[in-house]
Amino acid sequence: MRLGLGLPELRGSLAGDHGPLMALGFLGTVISLERAVALQQRWGYAAPLTSGLGTLASLLGWAIPGGWLLVIAGVLLTAIFVRVLLLQPALHTAVMGAGAVAWIGAAALWLAGHGGLPMATWLAGFLVLTVCGERLELSRFTRLETSARVLFLLAAGVFGLGLLITLPDAHVGAPVVGAGLLGLAAWLARYDVARRTVRTQGITRYMAACLLAGYAWLAAAGITWMASGASYGWSYDAKLHTIFLGFVMSMVFGHAPVIVPSVLGVAVPYRRIYWLHVAILHVGLLTRVLGDATASLTLWRAGGILNEVSILLFIIVTAITSTRATRERSRGRRFSRSGGIPRTSV
């Protein structure tokens, strides 16, 4: 709709609210559901449930109850991380917990009517810190030295400082956020296990390629935020979509074979066709950002359409793969000695 396509409108401000609804409503619900599944405690499901209800309320036009529910969902997700920290204290969990706190900040800003850059910055804070915390955790496979952890803390600290400064003064805060993003991208490119696993094959290589492409976009985001500060217009489109599409959506595409079984309980085996929607996403975003850089409406629109095509294709391919896998699985299941199918429980 925002690309100027003649699509039917559901609700007045829906197109303008697609950022928080995608970041908190869709990704936030999936992420909190993922954590609740991992925690294996019933109360943890209150976070995705509240987030889902908040999103539904917002979609139906009940902005205030919807906003409050999203704030509460952020608090519940933070509580999950506090529980995990009590279970196993670790820096990477604290970083993901800081991401959940950024969710609360973003939802509160949205509720208070402070949309635009400050809210978008805190939405980015939620997703960037969540992903970076996960990557820090996985970097333990590569025998991370203390100096590398210090560098991570430095980059994350600059990013967090930028988030805080954005509240009173977005013009000062935005370049600091950019420096933090660039620092985190450089750290990930240097220390992430994906550098090694991209040389393997199959699903592992696919996931690593998605990660590395995401890091390139995070670096591009850092440079854009540093160069354009808090300005709106063309650079605002680039500032947001390099993070939310280039970095975050690339992670989602890469991790779908793991995330979907976790949250929906259905298998999504790796298929080579997955590379297609990943390629369309990145080509589309490159076209869009070129449009932003040259103020070309044609390029911007073409890139945006490709981005939408990539997401639609991702949903369709994932649904088809999952349905086929479920069918094959039920066909291939043999009867056990007791006459039932092999049972598994976690």
Partner 1 sequence: MVDIADLLHKPPDPERVVWELLHRVDDPEIGVNIVDLGLVREVEVGPDGDVHIGMTLTTPTCPLGPYIRQEIENCLGETSWVGYVEVKIVWTPAWNPQTDMTDRAKRELGWIR
Q: How far apart are CA 86 and CA 78, in angstroms?
A: 13
Euclidean distance between CA atoms 317 and 260, whole angstroms: 13
Which one of 5, 64, 87, 315 is in contact with partner 1 (CB under 8 A)? 87
When asked if residue 140 is in the footprint of partner 1 (CB under 8 A), the reply is yes
Task: Pick the closer one to partner 1 by CB: 205 or 301.
Answer: 205
Is there binding between residue 203 and partner 1 (CB under 8 A)?
yes
Q: Of the two residues 134 and 308, which places its CB atom closer to partner 1 in the complex?
A: 134
Looking at 101-109, 148-156, 201-209, 307-315, which segment touches partner 1 (CB under 8 A)?
201-209
Residue 67: Cβ within 10 Å count:
22
Cβ count within 10 A of residue 341 = 12
Binding flag, residue 42, partner 1 (CB under 8 A): no
What is the rounded CA–CA span in Å between residue 17 and residue 10? 12
C-beta atoms surrounding 90 within 10 Å: 15
Scanning the structure block, which residue is given the tokens 């509580």? 79
Neighbouring C-alpha atoms within 13 Å toward the C-beta of 117 = 28
Closest separation in Å from C-beta 27 to partner 1 = 13
Q: Is 210 in the site for partner 1 (CB under 8 A)?
A: no
Told to check if 191 binds partner 1 by CB under 8 A, we report no
Residue whose structure tokens are 């203390």: 146
Member of 178, 257, 284, 291 binding partner 1 (CB under 8 A): 257
Contacts of 80 (CB under 8 A, 6+ apart): 32, 35, 36, 39, 44, 47, 100
Closest to partner 1 by CB, 40 or 147: 40
Does residue 193 bind partner 1 (CB under 8 A)? yes
Residue 3: count of CB within 10 angstroms of its CB? 16
Q: Does 35 bind partner 1 (CB under 8 A)?
A: yes
Q: Give the number of residues written for the chain.
A: 346
Say how far apart CA 178 and CA 227 lie, in whole Å: 8
Stretch that binds partner 1, among 135-143, 146-154, 238-246, 291-299 (CB under 8 A): 135-143
Phi/psi at 8 (5° precision): -65, 145
Q: Which CB atom, from 18 or from 205, has the smaller least distance to partner 1?
A: 205
Can residue 84 be called a binding residue for partner 1 (CB under 8 A)?
A: yes
Among 261, 271, 290, 293, binds partner 1 (CB under 8 A): 261
Query: How far is it, in rounded angstroms, from Cα 33 to Cα 35?
Result: 5
Residue 26 CB, shortest distance to partner 1, in Å, is 16
Listed ranges 112-120, 170-178, 190-198, 299-307: which one lies at the site for partner 1 (CB under 8 A): 190-198
Binding status of residue 272 toward partner 1 by CB under 8 A? no
CB of 118 to partner 1, least distance (A): 28
Q: State the Cα–Cα distance between residues 50 and 309, nearest whole angstrom.
A: 30
Q: Which residues contact 56 (CB under 8 A, 6 or more apart)?
A: 66
CB 234 within 8 A of CB 293: yes
Q: Which is nearer to partner 1, 137 or 308 (CB)?
A: 137
Q: Which residues bind partner 1 (CB under 8 A)?
A: 34-35, 37-40, 81, 84, 87-88, 90, 92-93, 96, 134, 137-138, 140-143, 193, 196-197, 200, 202-205, 207, 257-259, 261-263, 265, 267, 270, 332-334, 336-338, 342-346
